[in-house]
Chains A and B, each alone.
Chain A
Amino acid sequence: MIVPLGHVYFLAGAVFTMGLVCLVARRNLIMTLVAVEVMMNGAAIAFVAAALRWQLMGGQAFVLFILAVAAAEVSVGLALVVNLYRQTGSLDPDRYDILKE
């Protein structure tokens, strides 16, 4: 490998963590969806690194699966967000706390 495996895993973890921070810290549902995308890409980087290390094509095939699933999920999620916006007039997830007492 061009770089040690640990470095690639570190990159994957960093991307995942940035996605996580964006997910938790932003008060915009669209940004939540973006963050989910970023997290899935971080996982995909880890898969690619593992495929390169053990010389198995299964890892790269799984990355294609991840990309496809991400696309489908984003379309469904966006539809839900649009519906929510139409119902309540806001994209702030903190406003949807009617389950709290």
Chain B
Amino acid sequence: MTTSWLRDPSWVAATLTTWLPFISFLLIMVFTRDHRRLSGGIAVGAVTSSLAGAVFLLVRHSGDARPIHYAVRWLGAGDLYIPFGFLLDPVSLVMLSLVAAISFLVQVYSLGYMAGDPGFSRYYAFQSLFAWAMMTLSISSAMLQLYVFWELVGLSSYLLIGFWYEKFSATQAGKKAFVMTRLGDVSFFIGLLLVLLHLGNLEILEMNSPEVTAQIPSGHLTLAALLIFGGIVGKSAQFPLMTWLPDAMEGPTPVSALLHSATMVAAGVYLFVRLFPFLSHSADAMTVFLAIGTVSMLLASTMAIVSRDIKRVWAYSTISQLGFMIMGLAAGSLFSGAFHLITHAGFKALLFLCSGVWVHLYETNDVYEISGSGARRLKIPMVCLVIAAAALSGLPPLSGFFSKEAILTGLADLSNPLWLTAGLLGVFLTSYYAFRVVFILLSPRREDKKEPSHQGVGVHYWGMGGPLIILAGWTVVLGFLETPLRVFLSAGTAAHPEAAHAWLPYFSVALAASGVGMAWFEFGRRAAAQVGFVERIGPLRELFAQRWYLDHLYRGFVAVVIDRVLSRTCARNEEKVINDGIDGFCGITLRSGRLFSLLQSGKLRYNLAVMFGAFSLVALYFLLR
């Protein structure tokens, strides 16, 4: 068995691609903690080979009609069994390549960004851990394996958010991220158990097959779909578990670019894509998903409009775009969600990496301060930022335009026009907040201008600039690959592109352009006050800045329900019921003992009297028998 597997290049490639980063993690953590250049080299080398392996697999299996499936039976009990293995179909291969490529670019970028940091080796170890977990998650063949790596991805996120652990806010943010995503994971796991109960195993191929409706009653199917979506809500920071993502910006900017924009939070949407046939059996669940996606998209867009922290703007944008992807998927179009996932990974990572150059140089996250320090003098980040913001807003001919069109077309196919209206409103808000940042950076206010402490990025310029250029080029080109990608992703199934809504592209581009125009009017003009229309309305600005008081709600919930009710009840139970009960029992024992000790007079006469009395009773008994 093993020898035949070793001769199969796909299996070897898949194993090496996913496990080399893990070996790199072990090597760095155990051996090369003190040798930073060696650690960096090992990590980047591992991820480069992973990228090569992923591209090899992508090219090799690009024309396959059926997915390639390797599985090994790990645990079994009666009817149930748990398999572990690889599933190589178009969706998983594209995701694998995406993760490998962005991990590679971010790790190269980090060579410049994290240079001089005392935790350099530890950073690369955690990056390798993340790469291993995310890549194996992408090509997992069974849901339990996916869940294990889902949790591992959450772990690496925690480790990387709290990377600068001396800073209290960073450790708090890491803890918050982990606990919130864990809440989602609990419901995810219960949903998986429900499916396991009916199907006997959790193979993805089996879950996606049409026969599953016969094996699971429809009520349970809807419930399982909703519970599994709970995991997606947690991981992809949708409403109501969305407030951990802005706080996760405490981590280094490359981490934000990799984990919290392109790959880890996209794992939730990827799960949706993976289980799309399974989840789409239940129309009620899909409507709920649509609603949650819409709410997240709109809420996060409003939060982005008033934020002064450049990384937070992109974090809110990520939440919003993920909601947009979920809207597309829940509207029934698998391709639109997957395509937007791919394009979004590109331009969002680009946005973060460009912002990272300025954050690294000027040591501040505030947009106004960055612009005042002369951000626009650095050409490469500025140009790439504009390209990425334009892609985010959905302006042609960039990649974002094509993917947003696909989603809006899917929304337009729904019977209720509410969803399309929400989507179009989202388009306007997105272009507004994206170009707000661009114009603030391009035209610094007089009061913010100051001399920066050091000029230019220096020796790391090409290390950090190279990935920016590559990602920008990718953003420009990817849109034109829509049709080949559509054919690739629906390999084996009939593809039916909808062409009915001809007015939609023009209308959405007009909306995006009007968003840009409004941002220019308020921020970009020579005499602009650089205060947004929302920022002028005090209560509204407060509402958006306080994240719609969601954090206050959570804090209140923890303080009242969990602390005052639950923990106080449990503490009181321990005090009064358990401790006092045992003490009472001991007291009774003591007191009854003291009572009985009164019989012990120590006097001979009484002992003798009692002895003879007992003896005569026994004699009486035998007499009367």
Contacts and interface: CB of A to CB of B under 8 A. Distances in A.
A93 B612 contact: no
Nearest to B600: A100
A97 B601 contact: yes
A25 B605 CA distance: 8
A101 B608 contact: no
B609 A98 contact: no
A93 B605 contact: yes
Interface in A67-90: none
Contacts of B602: 96-100
B597 interface: yes
Among A20, A24, A100, residue most surrounded by chain B Cβ atoms (within 10 Å): A24
B604 interface: yes
A94 B600 CA distance: 13
A49 interface: no
Interface residues of B, number: 10
B35 to A, nearest CB: 75
Contacts of A98: 602
A24 B603 contact: no
Contact of A96 (B600, B604, B608): B604
A101 B609 contact: no
A96 B603 CA distance: 7
A25 B609 CA distance: 9
A23 interface: yes
Contact-residue bracket for chain A: 10 to 19
B614 to A, nearest CB: 13
B597 A101 contact: yes
Nearest to A93: B604
A96 B604 CA distance: 8
B608 A100 contact: no
B612 A20 contact: yes
A98 B609 CA distance: 19
Contact of B605 (A24, A99, A101): A24
Chain B at the A interface: mostly helix, strand, loop or mixed?
A: helix
A24 B601 contact: no
A100 B612 CA distance: 21
Contacts of A97: 601-603
A26 B597 CA distance: 24
A99 B601 CA distance: 9
A27 B604 CA distance: 10
A52 B364 CA distance: 124
Among B597, B600, B603, B609, residue most surrounded by chain A Cβ atoms (within 10 Å): B603
Interface in A5-37: 20, 23-25, 27
A14 B223 CA distance: 91
Nearest to A39: B612
Interface string B604-621: 110011001000000000
Nearest to B610: A24
A92 B602 CA distance: 13
A24 B609 contact: yes
Contacts of A24: 605, 608-609, 612
A100 B603 CA distance: 8
Contacts of B608: 23-24
Contacts of A23: 605, 608
Contacts of B605: 23-25, 27, 93-94
Contact of B601 (A20, A25, A27, A100): A100
A87 to B, nearest CB: 15
A80 B384 CA distance: 115
Given A20-B612, A24-B609, A101 B600 contact: yes
A48 B603 CA distance: 35
Nearest to A16: B612
Interface in B516-537: none
A25 B612 CA distance: 13
Interface in B584-611: 597, 600-605, 608-609
B609 A93 contact: no
Nearest to B609: A24
Nearest to A20: B612
A75 B247 CA distance: 99
A97 B350 CA distance: 96
B613 to A, nearest CB: 10
A93 B602 CA distance: 10
A76 B600 CA distance: 28
Interface in B338-374: none
Nearest to A27: B605
Contacts of A101: 597, 600
Nearest to A101: B597
A27 B605 CA distance: 8
Contacts of B604: 93-94, 96
A100 B601 CA distance: 6
Contacts of B612: 20, 24
Contacts of A20: 612
A100 B605 CA distance: 14
A94 B601 CA distance: 9
Nearest to A25: B605
A101 to B, nearest CB: 6
A23 B613 CA distance: 13
A60 B618 CA distance: 27
A94 B597 contact: no
B609 A94 contact: no
A27 B602 CA distance: 14
B609 to A, nearest CB: 4
Contacts of A25: 605
Nearest to B597: A101
Nearest to A35: B608
A98 B604 CA distance: 11
A53 B504 CA distance: 131
B603 A93 contact: yes
Nearest to A24: B609
B536 to A, nearest CB: 87
A70 B150 CA distance: 94
5 contacts: A23-B608, A24-B609, A24-B612, A96-B602, A99-B602
Given A25-B605, A101-B600, 10 more contacts: A23-B605, A24-B609, A24-B612, A93-B604, A93-B605, A94-B603, A97-B601, A97-B603, A98-B602, A100-B603
The 10 closest A-B pairs by CB, nearest first: A100-B602, A97-B602, A93-B604, A24-B609, A99-B602, A94-B603, A24-B605, A97-B603, A100-B600, A93-B605
